[in-house]
Amino acid sequence: QVTLRESGPALVKPTQTLTLTCTVSGFSLGATGMCVSWIRQPPGKALEWLARIDWDDDKYYSSLRTRLAISKDTSRSQVVLTMTHLDPVDTGTYYCARMQRVYDGSHVRYYFDFWGQGTLVTVSS
């Protein structure tokens, strides 16, 4: 049974750095094709993809790339996201999700098949 669970601080002060951990079970972060992404959602707003790390340690970032760093510890089944220079607009629910990356010989297909329950992060002084 695949599960993902986010953990991290609920309250962060502006300008500080946020560190979130996603602990997974039911699959290996080192298994070919396994990817994990971080996605956030400000209150009442749309989903926003932040970053992705693949089984082979390839990393991809959104336009917030200068503030983001994603890493994984396969032995501990954890994916860590750090975000620097927090601002109140970064307030929202942060999700980690397993991303299926399927290559069929001509196209690569991506979709999120399992999600964590999310963790609410508030940026306020």
Residues that bind another protein (CB under 8 A): 37, 39, 46-49, 52, 60-63, 95, 97, 99-100, 107-118
From CA 26, how far away is CA 49, in angstroms rounded? Answer: 23
Least gap, CB of 112 to another protein (angstroms):
6
- CB neighbours (10 Å) of residue 54? 18
Strand (E) or helix (H) holding 120? strand 119-123
Least gap, CB of 40 to another protein (angstroms):
11
Which CB atom, from 13 or from 117, has the smaller least distance to another protein?
117
Least gap, CB of 98 to another protein (angstroms):
10
Residue 29 · residue 36 · CB < 8 Å: yes
Which CB atom, from 18 or from 118, has the smaller least distance to another protein?
118
From CA 12, how far away is CA 111, in angstroms rounded? Answer: 30
